């Protein structure tokens, strides 16, 4: 079905003229015009309301994200305000073998460096 063309519109006007008469036809036209304007207004209000709700939902999501970020920052700041735990106590007796291996490695690398310098 297509749109109403010229001949169809003319037929509708003639039928309306015959059914309602010349006195009531302007009244009916005004009523139809008011009804169409009210329908357009209601449609625009509905569309605006839906768009406003969509934007409001975006703001709610952004607010939730910012609140979560704020909670994480506050938790991090609380952790910073707490005193740091003391460093672990290292006993010489426990670390003596590791210290011996470190000293042996340093001695060997020093000897290797001297040997390379002498060979030149």
Tally of domains in the chain:
1
In a domain, 69, yes or no: yes
pLDDT value at position 19? 84
Local confidence band at 60 (pLDDT 50, 70, 90 cut-offs): very high
DSSP for 12-29? HHHHHHHHHHHHHHHHHH
Q: How many Å apart are CA 100 and CA 56, to the nearest integer?
A: 68
Average pLDDT of span 102-115: 83
In a domain, 92, yes or no: no
Range of the domain at 62: 10-82
In a domain, 2, yes or no: no
The more confident residue out of 67 and 28 is 67
pLDDT value at position 90? 66
pLDDT value at position 42? 95
Question: Could you tell me what percent of the chain has a pLDDT over 90?
Answer: 32
Token pair for 87: 């460093």
Say whether pLDDT at 32 is over 80.
Answer: yes
In a domain, 29, yes or no: yes
In a domain, 28, yes or no: yes
Say whether pLDDT at 1 is over 60.
Answer: no
Measured at the alpha carbon of residue 53, what is the angle toward residues 51 and 57, in degrees to the nearest 5? 120
Average pLDDT of span 32-42: 93
In a domain, 50, yes or no: yes
In a domain, 71, yes or no: yes
């Amino acid at each position: 079905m297509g749109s109403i063309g010229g001949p169809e519109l003319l037929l509708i006007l003639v039928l309306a003229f015959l059914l309602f008469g010349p006195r009531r036809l302007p009244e009916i036209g005004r009523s139809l015009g008011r009804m169409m304007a009210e329908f357009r207004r209601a449609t625009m209000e509905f569309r605006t309301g839906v768009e406003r709700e969509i934007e409001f939902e975006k703001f709610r999501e952004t607010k939730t994200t910012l609140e979560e970020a704020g909670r994480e920052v506050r938790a991090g700041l609380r952790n910073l305000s707490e005193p740091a735990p003391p460093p672990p106590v290292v006993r010489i007796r426990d670390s003596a073998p590791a210290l011996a291996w470190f000293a042996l490695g340093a001695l060997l690398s020093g000897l290797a460096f001297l040997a390379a310098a002498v060979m030149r």
